[in-house]
Structure 1
C-alpha cells in the first residue's frame, strides 16, 4: 500500500515546514488549510491543496479520501496559537472542536496513523527543580492559560481515540522559532524590531526554544517510528531572554540592549499593552500570560523522542536567528524609515 501524508494547517509556520520535510524525503503529500495561499508558500511544490475548515467536518471529506491502494497518514498541525489572557471562542472551536472533527474523520475513513501537534503547555508545570516529561492523562484544569487549556482538551481527545481503535500519537513542541513565519511570531517580531531600531529593552526570564525545522523533522519521525498512544516532547534548549536579544543584536550588527525591565513593571503594564494592541489589531510582544511563561519551569525532557524516534537538534539559536533575518530581508518585511527631503 502506498502511503499518502495529509497535513492540516499547511499554510502555517510549522505546517509548511512539515510539508517541506516530507517532500525532501520523497513522500506523497496532500495539504489542507482554511485560507488561500496568499504568500505563495506552496508555489512550485508537488502537493495537492484542499481548502477546508477543521470546524466543518463535511468540508474535509475529499481531504480524507484516498485511492484503494493508498493509506493515509494525517499530521494535524492546524490550530490557533495565542498568548492572550482572554478566552477566545474561535480558538476553542478550532483547537478543540476542530481536533474532535479530525479524530472523527480519521476513524470514519480508517486512516493508517494520526500525529497530533500539541504543545508542551498541555503538560502541567512541575516545580522548577524538576524535569517535565511526557504524560498520558491530560486535564485542562491543571494548566495555565486559555491556549494551554484548549490544547490539553484536544490532546485528551486524541489520546482517548486510541481506545476506539485509532492509531494515534501526540507531539509536544516547545517555543518554535526560525524562518518562514509569515504570521509574525514573537521571535520573528523581535528580529524585525531590532532591524528597524525599535528593540530598546527586554524583560527578565527565559524559555525553551527550538527551530521549526527541527520540530518538523521530529514530527515526521513520529509519523514514521512513533507508537500509538504515546506522546513525544520536541524541545530545544533554554535561553534567557537577554541571551536571545544579545544574539539578535550580534547577528544584525547592533549594539546590545542594556535596559532590562523589572518583572513587576512588565506585569503592571501588560494588561494595558494587551488592550492597546487589541485596539490596534496587532499582536502584543508580551502579555500577562507570556510573562508567566517566561518565569515558569521550562525544563523539558526530550530524551524519549531522542531514543525512540532519533530526534536531535541541528539548528543552533544563532543559526535560527541568522536564517530568520535573511528570510525577513528576502521577503522585504523590514520597514525602512522614510527619508525627509532636505530643503534647497
Structure 2
C-alpha cells in the first residue's frame, strides 16, 4: 500500500501541477477525485506514472502528498468544466451526490443528472478520446431475485423510486445517449464499495468502525454484494484499455450477510460480533423511530428504508462479462475488511 498522508494544511499545499517527467503523456481527468473510489483511482494511475488532473469541489484530503494537478470545478457549471477538461484525453467520471434517504432530489438532480449531462458536453467539446462513467447497481432492476443479475437488466427511471436510484438511472441515460453523438463511452457499475483510503469516511466505512468498537447492539438479517474499491479501480483501468465502445460492466464482488461482515470484523479485532439479529420487516417497522432519534442526536440513522430494501434484494449479481473481457477477479471480502480496518486504525485522528 502507498503511504497515507494526513490532511494537514502544509501537505495540502503540496498538491501541485503535474511533474515535468509526465509531460507528453496522455492526460487523465478524474472527477470526484477526492471521494473513496477517486482516492484509490488516482493512486493507481500515479503508480503507473500517468499524469492525472483531479477535479475536486471542496474536500482535498485524498490528494494530500500526491503529484497531481488539482482543479476546482462545479459539475453544474459548464463554464468551469470547459477549462478543466481542456487537454484531457481520458475522463473518469466518478463525481456523484450520494443519498441514503428519500429526500434531496434537487441536489441529486443537479449533481448527478445535470452533472452527467455537462460532463458529456465537455467531453464532446474537448475531443475526449474515452469517457468512463461510474454508474450504480441501484439504478438497475434487481428482480427477479432468484435469477442472476447482469448488465442486460433494465434501468429504473420511475419517479416513484428513491431519489438516488432515479438520479443515477437518468445520469446513465445521459451517458448512453452520448454514444449517438459520437462519444466513446464505457459504463462501469460497481456494487457496494469498501476498502482503504476512505477519508470522509463512507457510510459503510462508518458502520465498520462502529462494529469494530462494539457499538452495534444488533444486526439486520440481510446482506448485500460488496466489492473491494481496489478491484473496482483495477476493473476500470482495464476497461479504459480493453472495453469496446458503449460496453457496460458490472463490477461486483460476492454476496455476504451482515452476520458474515460482523464475523469478518470480529476476526480482525478479537471483539465478539453482535449476538442478535432482527428480521428486515421488524427493522422496517422501527425505521421511522430510528430516523427521528438520529435527527435529534444530529447523526446519521443506522439504516434507512432504501438500505433495508437493498439488503433484501438480489444475491446473484454477476460480473461474468467483466471477468471475460477485462480479466476482472475480485478478492475475498475478508481481506478487504482486514485492510480497511487497518487503514482506519493507522489513520485515526485519536
User: How does the TM-score come out when normalised to structure 2?
Assistant: 0.89
Structure 2 CA distance for partners of 1:281 and 1:140, relative to 1, 3 Å: farther
Report the counterpart of residue 46 of structure 1 in structure 2.
67
Alignment partners' CA distance in 2, 1:249 and 1:79: 32
1:123 and 1:143 in contact (8 A); partners too: no
**Cα distance in 2, alignment partners of residues 137 and 2 from structure 1:** 38
1:198 alignment partner in structure 2: 215
> Per the alignment, in what secondary structure is the counterpart of residue 301 of structure 2?
coil
Select the residue among 314, 337, 344 that pairs with 1:321: 337
State the alpha-carbon separation in 1 of the partners of residues 332 and 199 from structure 2: 21
Change (3 A) 1:109 1:91: same
Q: CA deviation at 1:143?
A: 8.7
Equivalent residue for 1:342? Answer: none
Measured in 2, the distance between the counterparts of 1:44 and 1:180 equals 13
**Distance in 1 between residues matched to 2:298 and 2:55, nearest whole Å:** 26
Q: Distance in 1 between matches of 2:326 and 2:160?
A: 27
Once the two structures are superposed, residues 91-145 of structure 1 have per-residue CA deviations (whole angstroms, 9 ceiling, x without a partner) of 2210101110000111111110100000111211221211111138634129942
Conserved in 2, the CA contact under 8 Å of 1:137 and 1:156? no
How far residue 24 of structure 1 moved from its aligned partner, in angstroms, is 1.6
Matched, 1:29 2:29: no
Question: Displaced runs of 4+ in structure 1, greater than 6 A?
Answer: none
Q: 1:278/1:170 Cα in 2 relative to 1: closer, same or farther (>3 Å)?
A: farther
Distance in 1 between the 2:66 and 2:271 partners? 37
Taking structure 1 as the reference length, the TM-score comes to 0.90
Whole-angstrom distance in 1 between the partners of 2:154 and 2:133: 15
Of 5, 19, 38 in structure 2, the residue corresponding to residue 15 of structure 1 is 38
Moved more, 22-31 or 108-117: 22-31
SS at match of 1:141: coil
**1:166-186 per-position Cα deviation (integer Å, ceiling 9, x unaligned):** 001100000001112223323
Asked whether the equivalents of residues 210 and 235 of structure 1 are also in contact (C-alpha less than 8 Å), the reply is: yes
- Equivalent residues, number: 327
- Aligned residue in 2 for 1:215: 232
- Aligned equivalent of 2:109: 92
1:191-227 C-alpha deviation (Å, 9 max, x unpaired): 2113333122100011000001101111111111112
Change (3 A) 1:136 1:298: closer
Aligned equivalents of 1:123, 1:142: Cα separation in 2: 14
Q: Deviations over 1:280-305 (max 9, x none)?
A: 44322211110010001131111111
Corresponding residue SS for 1:130 = coil
Work out whether 1:238 is the aligned partner of 2:255: yes
The match for 1:188 among 183, 189, 205 is 205
Alignment of 1:287-302 (within 5 A): 287-302=304-319
- d(CA) in 2 for partners of 1:128, 1:81: 24
1:26-47 CA-to-partner distances (Å, cap 9, x unmatched) read 212111011141x3x2122121
Secondary structure of 2:158's counterpart equals: helix
- In structure 2, stretches of 5+ residues that fail to align are 1-23
When residues 177 and 143 of structure 1 are mapped into structure 2, their CA distance, relative to the original with a 3 A threshold, is: farther
Q: Tell me the residue number matched to 1:5.
A: 28
Whether 1:304 aligns to 2:321 is yes
Deviation of residue 231 (structure 1)?
A: 0.6
